[in-house]
Each structure stands twice: as C-alpha cells, then as structure tokens.
Amino acid sequence: MKSYLAAAIQMTSLPELSKNLAQAEELIELAVRQGAELVGLPENFPFLGDEAAKIAQAEAIAQGSEKFLKRMAQRFQITLLGGGFPVPAGDGKVYNTALLIGPSGQELARYEKVHLFDVDLPDGNIYHESGIVLAGNQIPPVYPSKELGNLGLSVCYDVRFPELYRAMMQMGANVLFVPAAFTAFTGKDHWQVLLQARAIENTCYVVAPAQTGKHNSRRQSHGHAMIVDPWGVILADAGDRPGAAVAAINPTRLDQVRRQMPSLKHRVFI
C-alpha cells in the first residue's frame, strides 16, 4: 500500500440521469486534477427523486450508471466507486448497489445494501426504502489493492451498524467507504460522529461521499462529505455545496495509530 490521495465527491442529485452524470463527471475531473487516485461517488448519484419514477427507469439508470463508471475510471485512470444506484432485482424491486471499478474499466467489487432505511422522522418525513429496494444478504466485500489498501464497501444507513464494519476489518479492511444520502435532519446530529466512531473503533480510514442540498420539495440532504483518519481526525470536509473532500491515505499513519492504540488486539468477544 502506498500513500495517495482519495476523494469523497459531494453532489446534489436530481431525478434526471443525464444531468446527474454530467455533474458527476465534472466533480470527478475536479478531484483528479487535485491528484486523487481513489474517488467515491455518493449514494443515489445517478438519480434522486420519486420512488415510482426510479422503479420505472431502473433498467436505464442501472445500465447508464455502470457504463458511466467504467468510462470514467478508464478515462481518468482511477479506481472509482459508484456509491449506490438501483439495479433491477425482479418483482418490481431493485438492489441499492455500490460498484467499485478499476482503472482498466473492470469491475472489482459489488455490494447490495443490506440495511434499508425504514424510518419515520420527527420532522414529518417518512422513508420506506424497503418499499422498492430488496435488501442484500451478504457481508460487504473487501477488495485487496496492493497500491490503495484493502477497500471495504458499505452504503449510507449501514453506518449505524458497527458489526458490519468490524466484520470488514476482520477481513483486512483498512479503508472503509461510506457513500451516503444522509437526511438533513439526522445528519446534523449523527453523520460526523458515526463516521468518526467507525474510523476510531476499527482504526481505519473512512471515505464518505455525500449528497447535499434540496432534491425536491420534501427531500434535503445533509452534505459534509468527509475523509476521516484512523484516529478519528477529519482530514477533509466538503461543507454543504457540491464539490469534493480530498485527503491523503497514508499507510505510515495507519500503522502508527494501530501501534499506539492496539485495541484491535485486545478484543475479547469478537
């Protein structure tokens, strides 16, 4: 594993595939110009809108997203994560799928979101992801890259389930992806602290791309795409506008933290 720059992209996705992919391309190029070799796009990067419309267009979104990710990875010679997009699963449902693509355009890893966001929030918004999404049933993959480290995949609501990340750490992960479309209501209180907790307890880097701003009259995302180091230090924060959080992933720092705080060696039960 070498030292390199990673980027967590922040978008304001809308219910229009072509506009979202154009925005994503702009932001990927921005990150690459800053030297990023590992780039993550947020959950719902190609489409964020009415659920019925998402289902109606799911096949086109899935095909368009996969082609786009492969083209961008090849064009910019980067490793690229598409942090969550609908892939038809049959019976009128989709998998919320994260896809990791290598610089040659090859698929490296695929993850179908396990934890679905079925929540009634105090602000009056009701989210029922399981209404259209079929939950995955596999522990997320950890892709071993000699240059970039062992990359663990997850999606948004997963971040509230620490056992998922502990399982990936046990599989060797040292860089954890948390692409998200965190709500504005929950994000203000929970987003940052959850990312820091997952980084600290597993002594891993966390790369967390995010959605931000208003997507329609009812839905608003928190923003603050981040990169967090294994000590829990926030290395980069994209704020509340579209852009990119870019920071170094440093194996020396990773080793230092794991030596100074060897909590992973002191586990008793798991």
| Cα dist from 246 to 32, 105, 134, 147, whole Å | 10, 22, 33, 18
Q: Is 43 labeled as catalytic in the residue annotation? A: yes
**Catalytic residue selected from 37, 43, 66, 112:** 43
**Catalytic choice (37, 112, 156, 204):** 156
37, 54, 112, 113: which is the annotated catalytic residue? 113
* Backbone torsions φ then ψ of 219, nearest 5 degrees: -105, 130
- The whole-angstrom separation of Cα 250 and Cα 89 is 38
| Residue 162 and residue 149 in contact, taking contact as beta carbons nearer than 8 Å | no
Query: Is position 146 annotated as part of the catalytic site?
Result: no
3-class secondary-structure state, position 20: helix
The answer to whether 113 is a known catalytic residue is yes
Q: Which of 185, 186, 188, 206 is nearest to 196 (CA)?
A: 206
Q: What is the CA radius of gyration of the chain?
A: 17
State the Cα–Cα distance between residues 45 and 11, nearest whole angstrom: 7
Mapped onto helix, strand or coil, the DSSP state of residue 186 is: helix
Give me the active site residues, please: 43, 113, 156
